[in-house]
Amino acid sequence: MPWTHQIKGNKLRKAENKILVVDDEPLICDFLYDALKSKGYSVVAVNNGQEAMNILRHDAVSAVISDVKMPKMSGAVLLKRVKELFPSLPVIMITGYGSVNDAVEIMKQGATDYIPKPFSVSKLHEVVEKSITSRIFEYKSNREIITEDKNMIKILETI
């Protein structure tokens, strides 16, 4: 499985979630790194899409946060490659040059969310948490449950 997660009780344990940050601007990478670390995430930050693909090929991550406009490999190309290799991996796109049309197009290409710059740390935390939690729910909801227990069947029917 190309990602890691753990749930203790009903609480997502963020410390075990690794976020890959991709931005060609070092100040933005530092900002994202610090903001995510402050919430207990493990963070890997790189400056271009090629480095990001190398990380993804060798390491499990829970989500990718990428700038849209970058030299060498744009965020849109990175998004396409990530979705080809890891279709369920959340990819959050950020940009300082966004428009509504850009946001719609990026979402059509498979981005989990789209955040225009500048954005608050709380907005970043909200979007990352939602993306990871949705993925865990999707993963858990795709598992097959086999039971003959009448109580369990009632619970499943209720759900």
Q: What is the pLDDT of residues 47-100, one digit of tens each?
A: 999 999 999 998 889 999 999 999 889 999 999 999 999 998 999 999 887 677
Tokens (6 digits) for 47: 């400056």
Tokens (6 digits) for 121: 């740390």
pLDDT reported for residue 135 = 60
Asked whether 59 and 89 are in contact (CB, 8 A), the reply is: no
Mean of the per-residue pLDDT values for the chain? 81
Return all residues near 135 (Cβ < 8 A) that are at least 6 apart.
3, 5, 62, 63, 88, 89, 90
Going by their DSSP bridges, the two strands 63-67 and 91-95 should be labelled as: parallel
Q: How confident is residue 28, by pLDDT bands cut at 50, 70 and 90?
A: very high
Q: What burial class does residue 131 get, using C-beta atoms within 10 Å of its C-beta: 0-12 exposed, 13-18 middle, 19+ buried?
A: buried
